[in-house]
């Protein structure tokens, strides 16, 4: 998943309005709300509140060991007030607007709000509790209101617009021109040209949506964390040791004895793959699919309806036919039709492959002497059996060679070979949880270029999935290095045992580190253009192309070492893993596209008042003769990408769009005959990883590849077409 949005200075409030767990940033507060006044607390607050003080830490890293929930409300109040004053000073400047007194001045505002927000939203995603959630509910609309007060400030926009109209005569550098262009566009998309009642209504919708996004995310987390399934000793029979160990750890995390399966993907998905108990598989699968759809206090159906209605009205106010048209207008795709066309192009080959996979599973069921139909809770279980038989693969044998520490070393090794950087662990940087680890990233000259935080294990209070975020973006004006955070949700092993990953887990590790490198290697003049501040359907490219290096023999032979013996993965096992690379891609692609189609169709719909969630999902999936035993990867009521913020709303397709880019992009290294080809690596660094949003996304891709992307490598790598020749 894309990193949470970096909170750059000039646009920090604007970004906060759409910030969510599905984005690249996160959130945290004290439920009492009593630690200070609305104006920022008592005199001397900066001395007693670490959020408002200077940070005497290495590289100005957040003093996470000193921050308490009660510090956030007064810190937010103070930072919002100071940011508002800074913006008003720019807007009311009597001098004619220049780049320096307007754009650059804006870029340097909101420093306190940016750093407070980055800490808060990261903690809300990674270390939440009742107090934090209460503060998030209070602050989300307040931050949205603050954002609107900036983007809807007519005097401020008049200065930006005056510069934009004169842009060809201002003698701006390339990055200055890009900053002016993107800032002007951001303000227009945030309603700056609206007048009167429309302007007021737009601001109210932004505040309403901020609250709805928070409610959706908190409902999903509450529903997920409230469910668990206890396993008896008899239920453990036939389960691999790594699942038994993880189930014991999940029980201990909940102060319970025995073993439990939870709705964390790292818990429930391996159980669905391995448990011979069909009734328990069905129970777990239904609970997993029904998150947010249980007609309880955490139900999200009404929340979705309210979100869709507010989004449509917001888009209409800005002159767009639908919210999908509004969102895709700022992406590589440009239109929802282009996004839909790409998904349609891949759908039918993927569906054909999924039908073949279903036939294999049905044959397996028949061979076992069973007469039940193939159901969704059967797919993963029998797929694993077919996979093991066809490729002679034992998941336990594979995991035994994929130790987390070695995979971390592997991802660092690849970055060193490609970009000439190295990582060195620090144990004195403050963190928010004992599991979090921190590394310095050094360049070839030994200079520290950034800090990388890794939070790899699942636990209560941490949202599901995997994502990249930041405590601070790279800033060419201040010289501040980036502070980047990766989150995963692997099962934490018992004390003294190694953390072992599935191959899919290891791919996720590389994916998120690809996002991390996009932030760490950023080299832009302005924080608003830094790192992952790029088109949503381009931001996945640096993460997805990085996945390809994991499956290369040169990497696996060096780092896929048996956790007991230290022996390299046997060549025969490695060959079987690579041979299985296209296995079950029909299922995986259909499952993904189901969510992509539903997401886009929701936001193309103009009758939001009549939407019934189940009926809508079934109608959209039925339009393309979907396989009933392959549902959406994320059902609507727990679809964080679509409804916990706007980052991937009408944009879930972007993973597939970036899939075209990453498969075509890695093909360049294959064509060169060297997966670490130095010339290509330099182009990839200069045009993509370090460029941020300093140039349009397609220009960035062409700067690396030398041409526009081709869809055929994706279809080939997923096994949907055969290579020519």
349-361 pLDDT per residue, tens: 999 999 999 999 9
3-state secondary structure of 450: strand
**What is the pLDDT of the chain when averaged over all its residues?**
92
| pLDDT beyond 50 at 567 | yes
- How far is Cα 163 from Cα 143, in angstroms, rounded to an integer? 27
Angle 654-656-662 from CA coordinates, rounded to 5°? 100
* Residues 399-418, mean pLDDT to the nearest whole number: 98
Q: What pLDDT is recorded for position 722?
A: 66
467-485 pLDDT per residue, tens: 999 999 999 999 999 999 9
- How far is Cα 409 from Cα 389, in angstroms, rounded to an integer? 31
Contact between residue 620 and residue 601 where contact means Cβ atoms under 8 Å apart: yes
Q: What pLDDT is recorded for position 47?
A: 56
Q: For a pLDDT cut of 90, what percent of the chain falls above it?
A: 88
254-287 pLDDT per residue, tens: 999 999 999 999 999 999 999 999 999 999 999 9
| pLDDT beyond 60 at 188 | yes
| pLDDT beyond 60 at 8 | no
| pLDDT beyond 80 at 78 | yes
Neighbours of 322 (CB within 10 A): 21
- How far is Cα 361 from Cα 382, in angstroms, rounded to an integer? 6
Nearest of 25, 50, 1 to residue 121 by alpha carbon:
25
| pLDDT beyond 70 at 25 | no
Contact between residue 575 and residue 692 where contact means Cβ atoms under 8 Å apart: no
Contact between residue 365 and residue 359 where contact means Cβ atoms under 8 Å apart: no
pLDDT grade, residue 20 (50/70/90)? very low
- How far is Cα 41 from Cα 71, in angstroms, rounded to an integer? 10
Contact between residue 527 and residue 179 where contact means Cβ atoms under 8 Å apart: no
Q: Tell me how far the alpha carbon of residue 577 is from its chain's centroid.
A: 27
Letter string b/e over residues 99-113, b meaning 16 or more CB atoms within 10 A of that residue's CB: beebbbbbbbbbbbb
| pLDDT beyond 60 at 1 | no
Q: How many residues does the chain have?
A: 725
pLDDT grade, residue 37 (50/70/90)? very low
Catalytic one among 220, 512, 547, 646? 512
* Residues 661-684, mean pLDDT to the nearest whole number: 98
| pLDDT beyond 80 at 650 | yes
CATH architecture of 12-151+153-189: Orthogonal Bundle (1.10)
Neighbours of 365 (CB within 10 A): 17
* Residues 354-379, mean pLDDT to the nearest whole number: 94
pLDDT grade, residue 494 (50/70/90)? confident
Q: What pLDDT is recorded for position 44?
A: 43
- How far is Cα 272 from Cα 280, in angstroms, rounded to an integer? 9
Q: What pLDDT is recorded for position 530?
A: 97
| pLDDT beyond 80 at 36 | no
* Residues 636-662, mean pLDDT to the nearest whole number: 95
- Which range among 34-43, 117-126, 513-522, 673-682 shows the weakest confidence by mean pLDDT? 34-43
| pLDDT beyond 60 at 301 | yes
Q: What pLDDT is recorded for position 272?
A: 97
Q: What pLDDT is recorded for position 24?
A: 38
Location of each CATH 1.10.1370.40 domain in the chain: 12-151+153-189
Higher per-residue pLDDT: 228 or 28: 228
- Which range among 24-38, 183-197, 205-219 shows the weakest confidence by mean pLDDT? 24-38
Q: How far lies 640's CA from each of 142, 328, 608, in Å?
A: 22, 18, 19
The full DSSP string for 403-423 is BHHHHHHHHHHHHHHHH--EE
Q: Tell me how far the alpha carbon of residue 558 is from its chain's centroid.
A: 29
| pLDDT beyond 90 at 664 | yes
Q: What pLDDT is recorded for position 495?
A: 86
Residue 216, classified by CB atoms within 10 Å of its CB into exposed (0-12), middle (13-18) or buried (19+), is buried
Residues forming beta bridges with residue 426, ordered by sequence position: 438
540-554 pLDDT per residue, tens: 999 999 999 999 999
* Residues 418-434, mean pLDDT to the nearest whole number: 98
Q: How many CA atoms lie within 13 A of 634 on its CB side?
A: 23
The full DSSP string for 44-97 is THHHH-GGGS---SGGG---TTT--GGGHHHHHHHHHHHHHHHHHHHHT-SSPP
* Residues 520-529, mean pLDDT to the nearest whole number: 98
- How far is Cα 572 from Cα 296, in angstroms, rounded to an integer? 51
590-643 pLDDT per residue, tens: 999 999 999 999 999 999 888 999 999 999 999 999 998 999 999 999 999 999
512: annotated active-site residue: yes
- How far is Cα 143 from Cα 213, in angstroms, rounded to an integer? 13
Angle 26-30-33 from CA coordinates, rounded to 5°? 120
| pLDDT beyond 70 at 27 | no
| pLDDT beyond 80 at 393 | yes
Q: For a pLDDT cut of 70, what percent of the chain falls above it?
A: 93
Nearest of 221, 121, 290, 117 to residue 489 by alpha carbon:
221
């Amino acid at each position: 998943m894309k990193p949470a949005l970096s909170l750059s200075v000039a646009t920090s409030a604007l970004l906060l309005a759409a910030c969510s767990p599905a984005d690249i940033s996160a959130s945290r507060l004290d439920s009492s709300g009593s630690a200070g006044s609305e104006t920022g607390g008592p005199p001397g607050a900066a001395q007693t509140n670490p959020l408002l003080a200077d940070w005497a830490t290495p590289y100005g890293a957040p003093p996470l060991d000193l921050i308490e929930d009660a510090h956030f409300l007064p810190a937010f109040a103070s930072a919002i007030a100071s940011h508002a004053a800074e913006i008003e000073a720019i807007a009311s400047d009597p001098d004619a607007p220049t780049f320096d007194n307007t754009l650059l001045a804006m870029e340097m505002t909101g420093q306190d709000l940016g750093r407070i927000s980055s800490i808060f939203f990261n903690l809300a995603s990674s270390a939440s509790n009742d107090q934090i959630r209460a503060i998030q509910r209070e602050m989300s609309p307040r931050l949205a209101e603050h954002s609107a007060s900036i983007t809807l400030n007519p005097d401020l926009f008049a200065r930006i617009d005056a510069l934009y109209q004169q842009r060809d005569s201002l003698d701006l550098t390339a990055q200055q021109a890009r900053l002016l262009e993107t800032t002007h566009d951001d303000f227009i998309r945030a309603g700056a040209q609206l007048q009167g009642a429309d302007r007021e209504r737009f601001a109210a919708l932004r505040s309403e949506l901020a609250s709805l996004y928070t409610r959706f995310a908190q409902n999903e987390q509450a529903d997920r964390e409230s469910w668990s399934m206890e396993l008896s000793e008899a239920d453990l029979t036939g389960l691999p040791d790594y699942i038994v160990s993880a189930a014991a750890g999940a029980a201990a995390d909940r102060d319970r004895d025995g073993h439990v399966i939870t709705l964390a993907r790292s818990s429930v998905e391996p159980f669905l793959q391995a448990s011979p108990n069909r009734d328990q598989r069905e129970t777990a699968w239904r609970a997993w699919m029904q998150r947010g759809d249980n007609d309880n206090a955490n139900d999200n159906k009404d929340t979705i309806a309210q979100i869709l209605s507010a989004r449509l009205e917001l888009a209409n106010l800005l002159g767009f036919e639908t919210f999908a048209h509004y969102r895709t207008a700022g992406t590589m795709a440009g239109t929802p039709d282009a996004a839909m066309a790409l998904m349609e192009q891949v759908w039918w080959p993927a569906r054909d492959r999924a039908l073949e996979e279903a036939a294999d599973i049905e044959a397996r069921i028949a061979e076992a002497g069973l007469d039940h139909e193939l159901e969704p809770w059967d797919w993963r279980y029998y797929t694993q059996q077919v996979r093991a038989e066809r490729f002679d693969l034992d998941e336990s044998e594979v995991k035994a060679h994929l130790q987390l520490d070695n995979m971390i070393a592997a991802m660092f090794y690849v970055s060193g070979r490609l970009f000439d950087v190295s990582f060195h662990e620090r144990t004195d940087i403050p963190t928010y949880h004992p599991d979090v680890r921190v590394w310095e990233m050094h360049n070839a000259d030994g200079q520290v270029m950034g800090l990388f935080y890794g939070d790899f294990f699942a636990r209560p209070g941490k949202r599901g999935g995997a994502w990249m975020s930041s405590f601070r973006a790279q800033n060419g004006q201040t010289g501040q290095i980036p502070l980047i955070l990766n989150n995963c949700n692997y099962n934490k092993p018992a004390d003294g045992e190694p953390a072992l990953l599935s191959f899919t887990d290891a791919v996720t590790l590389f994916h998120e580190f690809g996002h991390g490198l996009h932030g760490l290697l950023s080299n832009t003049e302005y924080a608003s253009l830094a790192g992952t501040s790029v088109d949503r359907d381009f931001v996945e490219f640096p993460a997805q192309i990085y996945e390809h290096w994991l499956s290369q023999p040169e990497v696996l032979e060096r780092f896929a070492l048996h956790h007991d013996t230290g022996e390299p993965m046997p060549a025969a096992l490695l060959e079987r893993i690579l041979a299985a690379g296209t296995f079950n891609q029909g299922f995986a692609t259909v499952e993904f596209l189901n969510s992509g189609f539903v997401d886009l169709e929701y936001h193309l719909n103009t009758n939001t008042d009549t939407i019934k969630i189940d009926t809508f999902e079934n109608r959209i999936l039925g339009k393309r003769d979907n396989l009933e035993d392959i549902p959406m990867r994320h059902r609507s009521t727990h679809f964080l990408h679509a409804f916990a913020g706007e980052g991937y709303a009408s944009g879930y397709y972007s993973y597939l769009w970036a899939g075209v880019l990453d498969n075509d992009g890695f093909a360049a290294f294959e064509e060169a005959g060297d997966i670490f080809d130095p010339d290509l690596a330099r182009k990839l660094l200069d045009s993509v990883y370090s460029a941020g949003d300093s140039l349009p996304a397609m220009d960035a891709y062409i700067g690396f590849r030398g041409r526009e992307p081709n869809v055929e490598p994706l279809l080939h790598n997923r096994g949907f077409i055969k290579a020519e020749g």
